[in-house]
Amino acid sequence: MLRAAATSLGVPLLGISTALEAACAAHSQQQMPTLMDLEPLKALRDAARLSMDTHGVAIIDDLDLAVCSRTIKRSRTLAGELRNAGQLYNWDVMTQPVLLLKSLGNEAAAAGKVLIYACVEDNFQAFLQEPLTIDLGEPTKNDYACVLEHRLGHEVSANLDMGALFALHSQLAPADLLTAAARALVKASRNQKSSMNDDASTPNRKAQCTLDTGAILASVRETIMNTSSVKPDDVERVDLDRFPGLEGIRDELEKFVLFPLEQPALAAQLGLTPKRGVLIHGEPGTGKTTVGRWLAQRLQGKFFRVGEMMVYSDIIKVFAAAQAAAPSVVFIDDADIVIGGWRPIDGGRGSDVFRFLLGQMDGLTSRGERQQQNGDVIVVLTAQNVHWMAKMLLRSGRIELWLKTQLPAPKEKREILKKYVAEDSGAMNLLGQAGALPDVRSASQIGDRFCCADLRRIVNDAKLLAAWDQHHTGNAQPKGGAKYLEVAAQAVTDMQNEVDSVTRSIYS
């Protein structure tokens, strides 16, 4: 925007390059470091005054970075997989931007001149008269069309369905669009080059590349997955059809969340909106995180995760990235732990996260025009103990879908044990007989409180016991697969009883 304004007005665009040239000149003259620190400030002030005297206007881009470039410190965060996380920068509040803006602002006001500037920080605004602030506002479908036409040309962009692109990704910045367009253009050029002869007489190969809406959408999704969202390849692939007891949760999510989210055209036509808040609660190991893995695979590029160790600023960035891909899902596993002390008297991080979630899930501007047209950020929470969570968070309007995971029933336990054995080639070799599954009935009946995680552990422990005996005795299966499963199941039951005993002795 500033570059276009400078070109239109016929004035120089001042900024970091202006300061760097002055710093290089000072270095070549072997000036003292303190003078080098002041040189960018002096250079920008002199250049801005010259521009105002000559043209009546001065334009400065990244003003605070230009005059404080030697004081920036890098800060790593705990969310390195998110866009820009780990690349954040912070610096002490310096006086140079205030001095420069105050000086130039006073001169411009006194002489009827104009100072246009852009800054990363705004902590020095208090020292200035209230400037005219230009807000670019929310992007629109026409903005998308303008950016892509500028990058791809009218002939290519005219064939793209901007409505479909905007409906699926309503908050992309121009830089995100340009990156996605460049990626799609490179792929289209490669595909075309591989299918045509090398023709040196072709003056402009880019103009001949054909792009459709699907290619741009795929590129946008790939860009988001590479920079912000959870990558499906990093998540264990699960099929809820093969997890007895989770079919009902899958069906509810399909109807009330995924259907309107994955059918934006139909949702817009009929006014369908997904549940904006979902709570999945139940005892540990009953499949809550498994549901999250399933969602991550289904919502490629539209699934974002808040982790237990993320700091407050990282959580804000997760929601900002999810908003750029809206409609999308933010998954908060173990939310009762992440939110922590939500009550104001508890103070600290939990209270901040809690207040932020309230604003995101039902703030003053919720259900605005953009959200109604393009969908919300859907928050999916998992929790073990909902008693620690505030009623104001769990009420309708915020949490609109309650789903409970339960310990598997006796028949389900048998089916889950069979599933874990059948899907593990090592377990089949060590515990099965002639390619047949071992008898799991006795092992499944030993404990009444086995969850899915317990059952998976039983299979792994039985496999280790069988491998140990086989290695030391030389027999293929000294005790039989069913016996190994019983021994492993009894060990898990004994551990659970010991934990219960210790807990009772502590809290009795």
For the chain, the maximum distance between any two Cα atoms, rounded to a whole number of angstroms, is 97
Q: Could you give the number of structural domains in the chain?
A: 4
Q: Which of 390, 405, 420 is the last residue of a domain?
A: 405
Residues 61, 122 within the same domain: yes
Residues 87, 149 within the same domain: no
Rounded Cα–Cα distance for residues 53 and 115 (Å):
12
Residues 337, 241 within the same domain: yes
Residues 423, 473 within the same domain: yes
pLDDT in tens, the chain (508 residues): 899 999 999 999 998 888 888 767 665 555 544 444 557 788 889 999 999 999 999 999 988 778 765 444 444 343 344 444 444 444 455 677 778 888 888 888 889 999 998 876 666 666 666 677 777 777 788 888 888 888 888 878 888 888 878 876 776 778 878 888 888 888 887 777 766 655 545 444 444 456 788 888 878 777 665 555 676 666 778 778 777 778 889 999 999 999 988 887 788 788 888 888 899 998 888 888 889 889 988 887 788 888 766 666 677 778 877 877 777 889 988 887 777 655 544 444 446 677 777 777 764 344 445 455 445 788 999 888 777 677 777 777 788 899 998 888 888 888 888 988 988 888 898 888 877 898 889 888 898 888 888 899 999 999 999 899 888 877 655 678 889 999 999 999 999 888 888 877 776 5
Q: Which of 127, 155, 176 is the last residue of a domain?
A: 127
Residues 478, 334 within the same domain: no
Residues 400, 424 within the same domain: no
Residues 436, 462 within the same domain: yes
Residues 219, 319 within the same domain: no
- Determine, yes or no, domain membership for 110: yes
Q: 363 phi and psi, to 5 degrees?
A: -80, 180
- Determine, yes or no, domain membership for 481: yes
For residue 18, what are the domain limits? 2-127
Give the long-range contacts of residues 428-434, CB within 8 A, separation 24 or more.
430/462, 430/463, 430/466, 430/467, 430/470, 430/477, 430/481, 430/484, 431/459, 431/462, 431/463, 431/466, 431/477, 431/481, 431/484, 431/485, 432/481, 433/477, 433/480, 433/481
Residues 339, 453 within the same domain: no
Residues 35, 80 within the same domain: yes
Residues 242, 368 within the same domain: yes
